[in-house]
A and B are shown apart, each in its own frame.
Chain A
Amino acid sequence: MALQSLDITRRSATTTPAPSVRQTTEVAKLIDVSACIGCKACQAACMEWNDIRDEIGTCHGVYDNPMDLTAKSWTVMRYAEVEQDGRLEWLIRKDGCMHCADPGCLKACPAPGAILQYANGIVDFHEEHCIGCGYCITGCPFNIPRLSKEDGKAYKCSLCSDRVAVGQAPACIKACPTGALQFGAKEQMKHYAEERIHDLQSRGYQKAGLYDPPGVGGTHVMYVLHHADQPELYSRLPNDPGISPLVSLWKGVAKPLATLALAGVALGSLFHYVTKGPNEVSKELEDELEKEDAK
């Protein structure tokens, strides 16, 4: 879903500098968990706008369905029953791509142009360039991208970059019945979040706050949380997400070698993909990365 090239600030496995003459406002989606009723209208709208239909699954003994993100479910609601100090809460969180300012997926991606970051902050996958290596999954501190079993390519929420490009809010925002989902300039969203946090504090949620984690340079999907001091209560939202050191190394110290190595890997992967199908080479590399990651 390409925007104009002028709006691209970062492109995976690319060293040429991005155009920067045009001023673009950074956008953000604000998810006000305290106003979310978990109705899944966002999930339905996402399926409709993006023309994706996940499988009709089974009930696993919880309200969540589909159970996890997939190549065809780019957003899911996660339901957590939390009992603290004798008080029960049902913390419902819409999960999906956070559109990090410093996107681990993009940094890890070896395929030129498969992952883009637009000047408005949206991180977008261009599947036609995807080689299916799955590095983006390793690079993502939020465990968001998913490889499709059908075409071997990675998919995730695009923040409806196609809609945003023409001045429309993402489909999920439009469908949200309670206004739990808001969309606009990131600064504006922070402002709005302040009001909500103030309201929550007046209702006894002393630790209410905004989730805009600095470890990834901030995000273009932010949460208003009643318990901002305990994000992991919300179905394991990471407390302090950061990009895997290996990915940082990959893009940092190893950068002089990057062009050559990446081109080699990409070409190799592509060749492999064409001759033997996806994933084998990348699997080895991925395991290695994971081993490093574990350290």
Chain B
Amino acid sequence: MTNHWVDIKNADLVMVMGGNAAEAHPCGFKWVIEAKKHRGAKLVVVDPRFTRSASVSDYYAPIRSGSDIAFLGGVIHYLLSNDKIHHDYVKRFTNAAFLIDAGFKFEDGFFSGYNAEKRNYAKDTWKYQLDSDGYAKIDETLQDPNCVFQLMKQHYSRYTPELVSKVTGTPKDRFLKVCEMIAETAAPDKTMTICYALGWTQHSVGSQNIRTMAMVQLLLGNMGMAGGGINALRGHSNVQGITDMCLYSEVLPGYLSAPTDADKTRDAYLAARTPKALRPNQMNFPQNFPKWFTSLQKAWYGNAATKDNDFCYDWLPKKDAGYDVLAIFERMYQGKMDGFVCQGFNPLAAVPNKRKVGEALAKLKYLVIIDPLVTDTSEFWKPHGEFNEADPAKIQTEVFRLPCNLFAEETGSYTNSGRVVQWHWQAAEGPGESISDTEVVARLFQKIKAMYQKEGGKLPEPILNLTWPYRIPAKPSPEELLMEISGKALGDVFDPKDATKVIAKAGEQLAGFAQLRDDGSTTCGNWIYGGVWSQAGNLSARRDNSDPSGLGQTLNWGFAWPANRRILYNRASCDPSGKPWDPRRAVIKWTGKAWGGNDVPDMRPDAAPDEGVMPFIMTPEGVARLFAPAMAEGPFPEHYEPFETPLDKNPFHPENPKALNNPVTRIYKGDSEAFGKAADFPYVGTTYRLVEHYHYWTKHATINAVLQPEQFVEIGEELAKEKGIVAGDKVKVRSSRGFIKAVAVVTKRIKALDVDGRKVHTVGIPIHWGFKGVAKPGFIANTLTPFVGDANSQTPEFKAFLVNIEKV
């Protein structure tokens, strides 16, 4: 979330799209109700199903799963053609005025630079025109045909309400009503918040779904405002923490881009990641990259990391290929992996195409499961009737189960969706032989290190020299770990403005990432968490909920990264002169000498408004990007159909069959052959969660099992009638990869949609069942889903695929 949970109460309009907050985030959803009750806010829900969120909404519009960019692109078209944008904000705080290379084009579904063979883009035309000083050229009148504003207007001129309705199946009047509601928040003193989740990410165009909404929020001037923002509602209590700490292969802790084979030296690596400002006077905060990275190297290699050995840069693994979850299981499926350590993860259930995942696991020599529960994955080899037709005689994989503690059985920190790090205390001892995840990993590491010590082996140095400063090496404490993550001074740290002034003495915890250095005098395990454990102690353990502003900022409750800032880009909540756009919801303001107010300013504290330092300090241009060349599929989001689509052409590009799906998505051999066709599988399948369950865990818990005991799928009344299915019947749902059987829920809440002249039905498939647990045994829903992901993040396309359904 750019904002935070409590801040939702400050919104005038709450939009729930690409998620179902009431279902998946019932506790956080209280702030939506709060906004309705005490602000008179409206709630609008756009979803293929009339969801639990929709049940308390003021307005609902249906949409075909997989057509969100068409919908939101249509919103952009509406805002631009009806002049419902926040002009000053757009002109000053976004790159609307920036001039783009004259060679940039969009034709026939592709942007300039497409390489069909490699399925990627050469981005040499996706760039700003620069002046002789290396700064981007701008046209403040927004009239230049090559300026972002004009290019954007041109791009979305095709997204007319008629075409939007044809692609999305949203009735035109409903679409326009939603546009009207959104457009009202273009007023400087009105805000919309958007709550989304996996309903946007789990598409082959997932990242672009979110980006389209970000553009909408920028056009409305809703970023940085109380009650605004782009708010990703993250998964279980610590998914935010997981991503922050780098459970993705392409980044290091704190979202530092990881070195690849191409980054031969530390200098080359740093140079490629340390941008120069693209406009005068901008903060260009990423220029500090070397400080963050060097401090991370010191956290890993301590005294062994010196300037002379490039702080052990050569010991870091360099990425040679994809290591996302699809890439890992593809590699395993090809028999190229011996072992797999599976910690807090149930991939047999959670990764698409269960058959493929099961066959992949069967090719391992060993599989280590670290989990508090008996997961379906840990019994992938065991026959469980129709639910898991395995043949143990043919599987040689040795499975080790290492029981670990549940969250309530250990002390540590969580980071919630609003980036608030909150300490929690152990409530009970774990049962039996279970120990904490940290201890499991630490003990494994101790053994591996001892083996390297004894036996040598290939390149033992990175293992033998790893910093391991914990009091009990086999059991690092959560306190030690958070202190290490937060950062401390190794030598005295001096004030950059006054070299005689020590701001942190050697051995002290640092106050924040501003004190990090690139000379080896500081250590920090994750720069964005800098200061969470300062000399003042563990700030994540603070529990002062006083809220002087009434905005719910509670600056002394826990610690929000970065720098305890609750609303990101909050400088954008003020006009260029430093006055809040909405004084009744002032987040910060310019006091004449400094920025201050109800949040930690996202701005250099003494940057006077007339210096022209722009609010989006993480971009070298200082403004937010309506045109974003970092995206794989193009700088403007474009609608492409899901890889399994009920349509035979992309209605935006009916003449170009190659523009049917995302042109840069990675597809493995064998998986494209397993894509189903609408002739055999005419219905749109989509998977989701239910409030009664949490993923594949709570099928082990009696109360949850009582509340929702048995696997079901949901279909609309019209489809049910066509298929002779009544509520309570057992049905079989098939995709080209397999089938599941479940009870049919027949509902008025899923309607057939009129899409491009045909009727499209949706089959809703909750995911929570499997063959282990106390709930009624069921099929793994991901038996049905395709092994293909988003082109930027590789998040699998769980939300839109093709199925057929029949009564059994």
Question: Measured between alpha carbons, how far is A56 from B773 in the docked complex, in Å?
Answer: 12
Q: Once the chains are docked, how many angstroms separate the CA of A262 from the CA of B367?
A: 70
By beta carbon, the residue of chain B nearest A60 is: B728
Task: Report yes or no: A65 in contact with B743, Cβ–Cβ below 8 A.
Answer: no
A56 near B745 with CB under 8 A, answer: no
Residues of B within 8 A of A196 (CB): 37
The contact of A57 among B50, B709, B712, by CB within 8 Å, is: B709
**Interface pair B55/A92, CB less than 8 Å apart:** yes
1/0 per residue, CB under 8 A from A, across B30-62: the answer is 100110110010000000001011111010100
Contact present for B706 and A55 (CB under 8 Å): yes
Which of A39, A57, A62, A203 is close to B691, meaning CB atoms less than 8 Å apart? Answer: A39
Select the stretch in B21-29, B104-112, B616-624 that faces chain A: B21-29
| Whole-angstrom CA separation of A90 from B33 in the bound complex | 17
Q: CB of A35 within 8 A of chain B?
A: yes
Q: Among B56, B708, B775, which residue has its beta carbon within 8 angstroms of that of A34?
A: B56
User: Contact check: which of B52, B60, B705 meets A39 at CB < 8 Å?
Assistant: B52
A256 interface contact, C-beta 8 A: no
Please tell me if the beta carbons of A65 and B728 are within 8 angstroms of each other in the complex: no
Contacts of B424 in A (CB 8 A): none
Cβ of B719 to closest chain A Cβ, rounded Å:
14
A81 part of interface (Cβ distance < 8 Å): yes
Over the window 695-726 of chain B, the binary record of Cβ atoms lying under 8 Å from chain A Cβ atoms (1 yes, 0 no) is 00000001111111111100000000000001
Please, which residues of chain B bring their CB within 8 A of the CB of A202?
40
A25 within 8 A of B: no
Q: Are B710 and A58 in contact (CB under 8 A)?
A: yes
Return A108 CB to nearest CB of chain B, in Å: 30
| Cβ of B744 under 8 Å from chain A | yes
| B contact residues around A54 at 8 Å (CB) | 706
Decide if A85 is an interface residue (CB 8 Å cutoff): no
Which residues 75-112 of B have a CB within 8 angstroms of A? none
Q: Contact at A37–B52, with CB atoms within 8 Å? A: yes
Binds B, one of A1-9, A12-20, A42-50, A278-286: A42-50
Residues of chain A within 8 A of B29, CB atoms compared: 37, 177-178
- Any chain A CB within 8 A of the CB of B368? no
Q: In the docked arrangement, what's the CA distance between A34 and B288, Å?
A: 50
Interface size on B, residues (CB 8 A): 46
State the main secondary structure of chain A at its contact with B.
Answer: loop
B472–chain A nearest beta-carbon distance, Å? 36
Q: B707 contacts A35, CB within 8 Å?
A: no
Assess whether B483 is interfacial by the CB under 8 Å rule.
no
Question: Contact between B22 and A39 (Cβ–Cβ < 8 Å)?
Answer: yes
Q: A65, B745: Cβ atoms under 8 Å? A: no
Instruction: Please name the residue on chain B nearest to A48 by beta carbon.
Output: B703
> Are the C-beta atoms of B748 and A58 separated by less than 8 Å?
no
Point out the residues of chain A lying under 8 angstroms from B712, CB to CB: 59, 61
Within the assembled complex, what's the spacing in Å between the Cα atoms of A59 and B34? 33
CB contact under 8 A between A56 and B702, given known A34-B56, A199-B36: yes
Q: Indicate whether B749 reaches chain A with its CB closer than 8 angstroms.
A: yes
The residue in chain B whose Cβ has the minimal distance to the Cβ of A87 is B60
For the complex formed, measure the closest distance between the CB of B13 and the CB atoms of chain A, giving whole angstroms: 13
Within 8 A of B (CB), among A91-106: 91-92
Tell me how far the C-beta of A29 lies from the nearest C-beta in chain B, rounded to whole angstroms: 17
Smallest CB separation, A271 vs chain B (Å): 37
Sample of 13 further A-B pairs with CB below 8 A, known A39-B691, A56-B774, A59-B712: A35-B36, A38-B55, A39-B52, A44-B703, A47-B703, A47-B706, A53-B702, A56-B776, A59-B710, A61-B726, A65-B708, A81-B749, A178-B26
What are some 7 contacts across the A-B interface (CB < 8 A)? A48-B703, A61-B727, A61-B745, A62-B745, A81-B747, A88-B50, A178-B33
- Which residues of B does A touch, CB under 8 Å? 22-23, 26-27, 29-30, 33-34, 36-37, 40, 50, 52-56, 58, 60, 691-692, 702-712, 726-729, 743-749, 774-776
